[in-house]
Amino acid sequence: MGCLCVRTGVLVSEITVVVGAPASGKSAWVESVRQPGEPVVDYDLLARAFGSTVPHDAPVAVREVAFAARQGAISRIRRGVSDSAYIVQSFIDAAAVAAWLDFGARVVVVDPGKGECLRRAESDGRPQHSFEGIEKWYAEEPVWDSRAEFVKEPSVNNSVRSAAGVKSRRWFSMQASKPDQGAAKLGVISIYDHIGWGGTESKAFIEELNQLDVDVIELHIDSPGGDVFQGIAIMNALRRHKARIEVTVDGLAASIASVIAMAGDRIVMNRGAQMMIHDAWSWGEGDARDLESAAKALEKCSDSIAATYAARTGKSKEHWRELMAVETWFTAEEAVLAGLADSWVDAPSASARFDLSVFNYAGRAAAPAPRINDEGGSEVTAEEFVVRVRELLGLDEGLALDDVAVAVEDLVKAAEAVADAVEPDAVADPVGEPAASAADVDGVVTVDKAVFAELQADAAAGREARARADVARREGLVADAVKAGKISPASSSQWLDRLNVDEANTAALLASLTSGAVPLAEVGSGLDEVEGLSEAEKIFNTAWGTR
């Protein structure tokens, strides 16, 4: 059966391609970092396994068998047979490096320097072709892709794991601050890399998260995505935590990183930050039935992700699947307008630290504007919406979006002031004879001062009662929607804000939502051990059920 490697930006399995000149220490580096049971595809090891007694100089017949076995092993690894593997290779061109990186593998270049390689070859008594290979490797060294990693000494690992092979490269950090007396306890978490990539599993993240005894967690995100199942597990763990989750997207929340952001009770986009959503990706191999099964699994995965966006925004899962299908990018403002975030703030723009060439668009600047309207209407982009508001209010064409928002707020406040000043119930029959000057003024009614004061008090009391009734009614609409599974508890405040602005249309939208559509329970499940299955099968069966 073909193996499915689901991803939303990077590969689930971890493949590390280790490159370097002959005698550079590639094999020694792998042995210093690999875990027990992780396969290593190394020509020299294969040659010895097939009967070669001379190190680095196998007979022709053994070389042919060893090379064939090497190619077969690489093919199976690319199909996802193993959860992690190391491939040792001396000569590789720039195109092959890029292909491995695009596939989702890591490329680690072991380079102690030409002089050190020659010294080691001499010390090991290597054959002449090893010295020729060293000269050739440094003479024809390719221009390395910026995504490749470099180590100089195989005994010291600076990129993936410690020399003891115990600790993994961390893509997150957690810390709890010491609060002032009486203040809420605060925890800060930063996710500033690929999710779950580089050996660190979601298990380590969740174990540390569960140890955070805090009232508020500030979660900062700058990530291009990663392992979809680990991302969903992290999102669920954040949801379960007792603390209030305050999410800030500092730079990029793309792919599964955007799903993790949805765990926030409040989501803030820093100025210049971006968010990207797309369908889950996969590589598959096998016959038609295998690929059909893989396609169904991908559909389920993408549906789960879309349901998360729908629960946050109140829009349908189908709406989000449409946007995911075309890979949609959002600026900070657009993410707020789409309901994926609550606000944006002025903060320094994060630098573009990630290679986004694997996606259809290398960031929001290269992508078309997202559709942010509700279903059933005409498609209006964020830019078009702002232009229309400027035109309606007669504002300057170049006025910034924040200034447009201020102008709208001022207009609303002015309208409310006029409405409060006009009280139809305050009209009463005149008491006594009006003064001559007042009688001559059309539309003016003169009343006793005490009567007028009483009318004003009654009007104020009426407004307060009406306001309380409005609040109770709107809160009841939101509570009923949560109870019916139409919206998530985390989005209650957003829906209440919408009702305060436009009750009629928002109430109609709530009524139109499907009951029970929002997954109030956890999405996905844990990775319990099942005897007799490989790690890949365990993950697959846990997510989608047994085959």
Q: For the segment 77-87, what is each residue's pLDDT rounded down to a tens digit? A: 776 655 678 89
pLDDT digits (tens, 9 = 90+) for 142-170: 788 888 888 865 433 322 332 233 334 45
pLDDT given at position 99: 85
> Residues with Cβ < 8 Å from 295, sequence gap 6 or more?
none
Q: What is the DSSP string of 231-254?
A: HHHHHHHHHHSSSEEEEEEEEEEE
Positions of CATH 3.90.226.10 in the chain:
172-373
pLDDT given at position 379: 45
**Looking at the annotation, which residues are catalytic?**
255, 278
- C-alpha 328/C-alpha 339 separation (Å) is 14
CB-based contact 510:495 (threshold 8 Å)? yes
CATH (residue range 172-373):
3.90.226.10
pLDDT given at position 307: 93
Which overall architecture, per CATH, does domain 14-151 show?
3-Layer(aba) Sandwich (3.40)
Q: At what angle do helices 202-210 and 228-240 cross, to 10 degrees?
A: 10
pLDDT given at position 4: 40
Q: pTM to 2 decimals?
A: 0.41
Q: Please, what sign has the CA dihedral across residues 360, 363, 368, 373?
A: positive
* R_g of the chain computed on alpha carbons: 32
Specify the range with the lowest mean pLDDT, choosing from 4-18, 59-73, 150-164.
150-164
pLDDT digits (tens, 9 = 90+) for 98-133: 888 888 888 999 888 888 889 888 888 888 888 999
Please give the C-alpha separations between residue 500 and each of 267, 472, 482, 506, 513, in angstroms, as whole numbers.
20, 11, 17, 9, 19
Positions of CATH 3.40.50.300 in the chain:
14-151
Amino acid letter for position 322? E
